Amino acid sequence: MENRRDFISKTALAAFSLTALAQYANAVSLTGKPFFEISLAQWSLYRSLFGKKLTNLDFPAKAKNDYGIDIVEYVSVFFDKKETDKSYLKELRDRTADLGVRNHLIMVDGEGDLGDPSATARQKSIENHYKWVDAAKYIGCKTIRVNAGGNGTKEAVGEAAVDGLSKLTTFAKAQNINVIVENHGGYSSNGKWLANVMKKVNS
């Protein structure tokens, strides 16, 4: 038998859901558009991509035709080292334009640690990310996602990450590309640590 507490909790949840639904419907009726949009992250289909059943170039059509989603997020590994190939990037950009799909973001991995305490290694990682800023700009993305990794104490990695991210964001700003950091393992999975790094970047 349902007790009073369970009944009240379920009733409150139902009321909240109805209120949220009403607000969503009202926003759509006033603007003709929902107040948020959904994008498809390429990693959602990583099995098909790694299994060569789907290519990076075909991903936007898959998102649009199979799922009805017209905003996409890419993963760097699936570019197959063609991120500086202008003909390849142009084909990707042209395909998405023909489909009416928006390129929103590239998730960048495997380019070194932006939080490496070694200044030399960190600078190499920063410069490794430049080509992804260029690629994002070329295909019409607004953002790249990076990692704030590094080996060392949390203080040393934090200080290095502030430097690495500050230099990368300065480069990206000139092309009007956002740089965001994922809580993606290591110290970055500690929200307090990552928030502290972000507050200090370009401060």
Rg of the chain, C-alpha, whole Å: 21
Rounded average pLDDT per 10-residue block, the chain, 203 residues? 47 49 55 78 97 98 97 98 98 98 98 96 98 98 95 96 97 96 89 93 74
pLDDT at 32 (0 to 100):
64
Q: What tokens were used for 31?
A: 């603007």
pLDDT at 47 (0 to 100):
97
pLDDT at 166 (0 to 100):
97
Q: What tokens were used for 159?
A: 């200080």
Which residues, 6+ apart, have CB-to-CB distance to 4 below 8 Å? none
pLDDT at 37 (0 to 100):
87
Q: What is the pTM of this model?
A: 0.82
pLDDT at 27 (0 to 100):
55
pLDDT at 10 (0 to 100):
47
Asked whether the beta carbons of 180 and 139 are under 8 A apart, the reply is no
- What is the identity of the amino acid at 61? A
- What is the identity of the amino acid at 182? E
Q: What tokens were used for 175?
A: 């092309």
* Residue 193: Cβ within 10 Å count: 19
Asked whether the beta carbons of 48 and 54 are under 8 A apart, the reply is yes
